[in-house]
Homo-oligomer: A and B are copies of this chain.
Amino acid sequence: KEGVLNICGNMANKLIFRQLFEMKSCTYTFLLACPITRKAIIIDPVIEMVERDSDIIRQLDLDLIYGANTHIHADHVTGTGELKRIFPKMKSVLSKFSEGKADVLLNDREMLKFGSENLEARTTPGHTNGCMTYISHAHRMAFTGDTLLIRGCGRTDFQQGNSKMLYKMIHEKILSLPDDFAIYPGHDYKGLTQSSVAEEKKFNPRLTRNLDEFIEIMKNLKLAYPAQIDKSLPANKVCGLYELMDEGTKAKVRPKGA
């Protein structure tokens, strides 16, 4: 019924699509659904926004079957655990290289099907070992998590960060897509909501440099330690599932009133 992608007048072509923003960590969450079966996937939900997200899922009459994280986030706690309590059929999804627990552990190039729609999961390590980029070939979109940001990329100075690997993965597995593919990142700090492969190939101030220059840039970013990392990492390794956390993490993570 809804969606941006509705100019063909062909219901079967319309993807139900919502981009959602969380202002504290500047995180984008994405909701995608098949318009025929209403089967849906949510990518990178944030724990503080679960009420908003579950309201939208219910109002759009969606059948949420996957809650996928692009990686083990260090800057916020995933909403996957709380969403699983509300939508018990939903399966948590992570890369098999993430060192995390999830109902579905994806390998490189595996497909996530939801109704007549699907996403290809490509492993794109470098920011973390378990980073995944989810690609809709039909709708020409790539959900890049923290691997490729708009005119930027994920930091590589902690959590198995590896600049050489990140550079290689972005070029081989994301910027090799056709120019018109839209890039939807996991964060943006300037209020930009999307980019494209063509733009990042031409204007990304880091990725347009050669590998040695890129490694040098990444070495000198001098970024602050993520404020929430000490609670986020242990919580996110179990997809935010309360019952799988140790006592210390439980006390830090549980939202008020839950």
Identify the interface centre among A2, A3, A4, A138: most chain B CB within 10 Å of its CB: A4
Residues in chain B near residue A8, CB distance under 8 A: 7-8, 13
Q: Which of A5-32 contact B (CB under 8 A)?
A: 5-8, 13, 15, 18-23
User: Which of A115-123, A127-135, A186-194 contacts the other chain?
Assistant: A186-194
Q: Are B3 and A191 in contact (CB under 8 A)?
A: no
Please tell me if the beta carbons of B198 and A1 are within 8 angstroms of each other in the complex: yes
Which one of B5, B59, B138, B203 contacts A4 once the chains associate, using CB atoms below 8 Å? B5
Chain B residues near A89 (CB, 8 Å)? none
**Nearest B residue to A138, CB-CB:** B7
Cross-chain contact A6 with B194 (CB below 8 angstroms): no
Copies of chain A in the complex = 2
Within 8 Å CB of A180, what residues of B? 1-3, 6
- B18 near A194 with CB under 8 A, answer yes
Q: B192 contacts A3, CB within 8 Å? A: no
Q: Which residue of chain B lies nearest to A8 when distances are taken between CB atoms in the complex?
A: B8
Q: Please tell me the number of chain A residues within 8 Å of chain B, measured between CB atoms.
A: 38
Provide the residues of chain B in CB contact with A190, threshold 8 Å: 49, 52
| Shortest distance from the beta carbon of A145 to any chain B beta carbon, whole Å | 18
Q: Is the CB of A2 within 8 A of B49?
A: no
Bound-state CA distance A203–B20 (Å) is: 18
Determine if A199 and B2 form an interchain contact, defined as CB atoms under 8 angstroms apart.
yes
The interface bits of chain A over 100-128 (1 if a CB of B lies within 8 angstroms of the residue's CB, else 0) are 00000000000000000000000000000
Indicate whether A23 sits within 8 Å of B23 (C-beta atoms), given known contacts A182-B3, A193-B193.
yes
With an 8 A cutoff between CB atoms, is A250 at the interface? no
- Is the beta-carbon distance between A2 and B52 smaller than 8 angstroms? no
A192/B20 in contact, CB under 8 A: yes
Given A4-B4, A4-B5, 14 other A-B residues pairs in contact with their CB atoms under 8 A: A1-B180, A2-B180, A2-B182, A2-B195, A5-B7, A7-B8, A7-B139, A18-B194, A22-B191, A23-B23, A23-B191, A49-B190, A49-B191, A59-B202
- Some 15 contacts from A to B, beta carbons below 8 A apart, are A1-B180, A2-B180, A2-B198, A4-B5, A5-B5, A6-B140, A7-B7, A7-B140, A8-B8, A20-B191, A20-B192, A21-B191, A22-B191, A56-B192, A60-B199
By a beta-carbon cutoff of 8 Å, the part of chain A in contact with chain B is 1-8, 13, 15, 18-23, 49, 52, 56, 59-60, 138-140, 179-180, 182, 190-196, 198-199, 202-203
